[in-house]
Amino acid sequence: MKKNKLFFCKEIYNKNAVLKAMKDYSKLANFNFSENSKYFFVGISKERPEFKDVIENEFCNYVLSLGKK
Amino acid sequence: MFKSKIIGEKNQIYFQLKTKNYPLEAIYATAYIFIDRAYVYLDGDPAKEVTVFLQGKDELGKKKLAALQGEFLNELLNYLLRVEVARSNQKIREYIVATALVSSLPSQNPDYFSDSDEEAEAGDWESDPMGIAVSWEEKNKKTLRKDSESKTNDEDGKNEPFKIAVSCEEEKKETIKTSDERGSNISAWRDDPLGIAVSWEEKNKKTLRKTKEKNKAGKRK
């Protein structure tokens, strides 16, 4: 887990789950989505100050809960 | 024992799991269980090895992080067993479900409309909770009585609101008048070009005579 940029392995995480999580969290921060052959990249910026410490980890948990590959 | 690495600053522990021993389904299920207690992140190559990152939501020491890893592995074993049982029973489950579905089809099951159902239905309609089975006469007893009373009064000649009390002769006269007024339209059916209006006796006069003569001759003999 890197700060401000999250990596989701394509073979483990579902793309739809990542996109839905971005949509659901869109009120808490700004999200950018990109991908390469192995990973989905989610960039997080302008997050609300009260959620700044937890938003990345909570986002990872939420993506995991939404669905598997 | 599993090789794991604890990062105290991040309150995090991570370790690798070989997917040969632990299938990805079991890892997913276990990770889902730990979502409320820790931040879970998975990485790696599912064909070979998956790395599990566990980060405590509360601040945990090294011992507690190691205990968290142990709990994760125990839960993983639990789900591993479940996955194995599900795999071994898959064909039996499919067979049971298929037979259940096939037997529920009405065309395949002759007992679908059983006698017990018919009996139950018979009992139901006899009870008639909605009062539908009551006849029209029973429902409208009062109106029928009123009608019968009014008819008897008419027969006596006391009330004559309609033309019921008119005699038959008067009716005939009226009908003749109306037919004359209609004119040629009515005379058309009197013409009877197809000969339909002729009675059977008129048509078969000859045969009737012959049969009468025969009957008379038979009586004389």
Domain boundaries, chain A: 5-66
Which residues in A have their CB inside 8 Å of a CB on B? 1, 7, 9, 11-13, 57-58, 60-61, 64-65, 68-69
Task: Band the pLDDT of A2: cuts 50, 70, 90.
Answer: very low
Query: Does residue A18 contact residue A42 with C-beta atoms inside 8 Å?
Result: yes
For residue B16, the model assigns a pLDDT of 93
Q: Among all chains, which residue has been given the structure tokens 């017990």?
A: B116
Query: Does residue B71 contact residue B33 with C-beta atoms inside 8 Å?
Result: no
Percent of chain B predicted with pLDDT > 90 = 35
Asked if the Cβ–Cβ distance from B43 to A9 is below 8 Å, we say yes
Query: In this predicted model, what pLDDT tens digit does every residue of B100-120 receive, in sequence order?
Result: 998 888 765 556 555 555 655
Residue B121 is which amino acid?
E
Asked if the Cβ–Cβ distance from B39 to A7 is below 8 Å, we say no
Nearest by Cα to B210 from B221, B218, B198: B218
pLDDT at A1 over 50: no
Query: In this predicted model, what pLDDT tens digit does every residue of A16-33 receive, in sequence order?
Result: 999 999 999 999 999 999
Helix or strand (DSSP H, E) at A15: helix A15-24
Q: Distance (Å, rounded) from C-alpha B159 to C-alpha B157?
A: 6
Reading the block at residue A13, the tokens are 């995480």
For residue B155, the model assigns a pLDDT of 58
Percent of chain A predicted with pLDDT > 70 = 93
Sequence spans of domains, chain B = 4-91, 163-221
Nearest by Cα to B37 from B79, B80, B67, B1: B67
Query: Does residue B40 contact residue A61 with C-beta atoms inside 8 Å?
Result: yes
Q: Distance (Å, rounded) from C-alpha B46 to C-alpha A68?
A: 12
Query: Does residue B53 contact residue B12 with C-beta atoms inside 8 Å?
Result: yes
**What does DSSP assign to residue A2?**
B
Reading the block at residue B214, the tokens are 């025969």
Asked if the Cβ–Cβ distance from B55 to A65 is below 8 Å, we say no
Q: Among all chains, which residue has been given the structure tokens 């100050």?
A: A49
**Pairs across A and B, CB distance < 8 A:** 41
Asked if the Cβ–Cβ distance from A12 to B44 is below 8 Å, we say yes
Q: B49 Cβ partners below 8 Å, 6+ apart?
A: B16, B17, B18, B19
Fold of B4-91: Ribosomal Protein S8; Chain: A, domain 1 (3.30.1370)
Q: Averaged over B34-61, what is the pLDDT?
A: 91
**Which ipTM value was assigned to this complex?**
0.88
User: Of A3-17, B135-149, B179-193, which gets the smallest average pLDDT?
Assistant: B179-193
Which residues in B have their CB inside 8 Å of a CB on A? 24-25, 28, 31-32, 35, 39-47, 50, 53, 55
For helices B184-191 and B168-182, angle between their N-to-C axes, nearest 10 degrees: 100
Asked if the Cβ–Cβ distance from B50 to A13 is below 8 Å, we say no
**β-bridge pairing B4-7 and B12-18:** antiparallel
Q: Averaged over B28-51, what is the pLDDT?
A: 92
Query: Does residue A29 contact residue A48 with C-beta atoms inside 8 Å?
Result: yes
CA distances from B26 to A39, B76, B79 (A): 22, 6, 5
